[in-house]
Amino acid sequence: MLKFLLLFTLTPLLEVFLLIEIGKRIGVIPTIIIVGATGFFGVLLARMQGFYTIYRFRAELEEGVFPAEEMFDGACVLVGAAFLLTPGLITDILGFSLLMPQTRYYIKKLVRDKVYKMMQEGDIRIRRW
């Protein structure tokens, strides 16, 4: 609980601080243009990756294969798009990292390894229905 409290209070403070510092160095208008451009290109990338993930999801279903990887990709694209909708450069970097297939691969591996470790330690339990 404390981790989430710190995350949701420190992240916006860091974002505001970073935007103020960048605004001081390059000016207000260029800073606003950078934030707007990252949002615009992020939406385009999220849309493109979302459609591609849906295409792969349907292809896997048509082949009779459970689309687990595509489901995970879809979740990453959704979270990445949400990060890009949040104004700020730190969240934009995280959002683009989740939308780019090259970096998403490593993030997925990191999360998968963490979840597997938590399952091994008994922190996560999978119940059967």
Nearest CA to 91 among 8, 13, 9, 15? 15
SS3 14: helix
pLDDT in tens, the chain (129 residues): 788 888 888 888 999 999 999 999 999 999 999 988 988 898 899 999 999 999 999 999 999 989 988 999 999 999 999 998 888 889 999 999 999 999 999 999 998 899 888 888 887 777 776
Residue 35: per-residue pLDDT: 87
Q: What are the boundaries of each domain within the chain? A: 33-120
CA dihedral of 40, 78, 46, 60, whole degrees rounded to 10: -170
Single pTM value for the model: 0.80
